[in-house]
Chain A
Amino acid sequence: MALLSITFFVTIVFDECINTSDDGTFYFDEKLVGGHEHQGSISTTSSVVRGVFAFAAVTSGKINLPGDKILGLAKFFLGIGIPGDAKDLFNQIESLALLESNRQVVFQEQHIVVKISIPLILSLPASVYSLSNKDQLKVRVNTVLGSAAPPLTVKLVRAFSTVAKDSAVIQNKDLKYDQNSGHHVLDVLPDKVDVGIYVFVFEMVLHDADGEKVYATGGQIHVPIYVTGIVKVSNAEIAVLDNDLGSIETQKTLDLAGNDIVSLSANHLQKFRFSFQLTTPRGHAFMPHQAFLKLKHETKYEHIFVVGNAGKKFEIVLDFLGLVEKFYYLSGRYDIELTVGDAVMENSFLRPLGHLELDLPEAPTSKAPRLPPLAVDPYTRYGPKAEITHLFRTPEKRPPTQLSLIFLSLTLLPLIGFLVGLLRLGVNLRNFPSSAAPATYAILFHLGIAAVLVLYVLFWLKLDLFTTLKTTALLGVFLLFVGHRILSHLATASAKLKSA
Chain B
Amino acid sequence: MARSTSKDAQDLFRALWSAYSATPTNLKIIDLYVMYAVFTALIQVVYMALVGSFPFNSFLSGVLSCVGTAVLAVCLRIQVNKENKEFKDLAPERAFADFVLCNLVLHLVIMNFLG
Residues of chain A touching chain B, judged by Cβ–Cβ distance below 8 Å, are: 396-399, 403-404, 407, 410-411, 413-415, 417-418, 421-422, 425-427, 449, 452-453, 456-457, 459-460, 465, 468, 472, 476, 483-484, 487-488, 490-491, 494
Contacts and interface: CB of A to CB of B under 8 A. Distances in A.
11 contacts: A396-B54, A399-B50, A399-B51, A404-B51, A415-B36, A421-B36, A425-B29, A456-B107, A460-B111, A487-B93, A487-B97
A404 B44 CA distance: 11
**7 nearest A-B pairs in the assembled complex, by CB-CB distance:** A418-B36, A399-B51, A414-B39, A487-B93, A407-B47, A491-B93, A421-B32
B91 interface: yes
A453 B111 CA distance: 10
Interface string B50-71: 1110100000000000000000
Given A456-B108, A459-B112, A488 B93 contact: yes
Given A410-B47, A422-B32, A449-B104, 18 more contacts: A397-B52, A399-B50, A399-B51, A404-B51, A407-B43, A411-B40, A414-B35, A414-B39, A417-B39, A418-B35, A425-B28, A425-B29, A425-B32, A427-B25, A456-B107, A459-B111, A465-B112, A491-B93
B33 to A, nearest CB: 7
Contact of A472 (B52, B97, B108): B108
B12 interface: no
Contact of A483 (B51, B97, B111): B97
A217 to B, nearest CB: 99
A425 B54 contact: no
Interface string B6-39: 0000000000000000000100110011011101
Contacts of A491: 91, 93-94
A488 B92 CA distance: 10
B75 interface: no
A399 B97 CA distance: 40
A460 to B, nearest CB: 5
Contacts of A407: 43, 46-47, 50
A403 B10 CA distance: 39
- Interface secondary structure of A, over-half rule: helix
B74 interface: no
A452 B54 contact: no
Contact of B29 (A403, A415, A427, A490): A427
Contacts of B25: 425-427
A456 B36 contact: no
Contacts of A398: 51, 54
Contacts of A465: 112
Nearest to B37: A414
A411 B43 contact: yes
A488 B94 CA distance: 8
A403 B93 contact: no
A236 B100 CA distance: 108
A104 B66 CA distance: 118
B114 interface: yes
The residue in A403, A418, A422, A476 that gathers the most chain B C-beta atoms within 10 A of its C-beta is A418
B50 A403 contact: yes
Contacts of A422: 29, 32
Nearest to B42: A414
Contacts of B111: 456-457, 459-460
B108 to A, nearest CB: 6
A98 to B, nearest CB: 92
Given A397-B54, A411-B44, A487-B97, A468 B29 contact: no
A414 B108 contact: no
Contacts of B50: 399, 403, 407
Nearest to B32: A421
A417 B111 CA distance: 24
A414 B70 CA distance: 13
Nearest to A406: B47
Nearest to B112: A465
Contacts of A483: 97, 100
A60 B35 CA distance: 133
A453 B43 contact: no
Contact of B94 (A425, A426, A449, A487): A487
Nearest to B55: A396
Nearest to A445: B100
B107 A453 contact: yes
Contacts of B94: 487, 491
A474 to B, nearest CB: 13
Nearest to B33: A418
Nearest to B39: A414
The residue in A415, A449, A456, A472 that gathers the most chain B C-beta atoms within 10 A of its C-beta is A456
Given A426-B25, A472-B108, A490 B93 contact: yes
Contacts of A414: 35-37, 39-40, 43
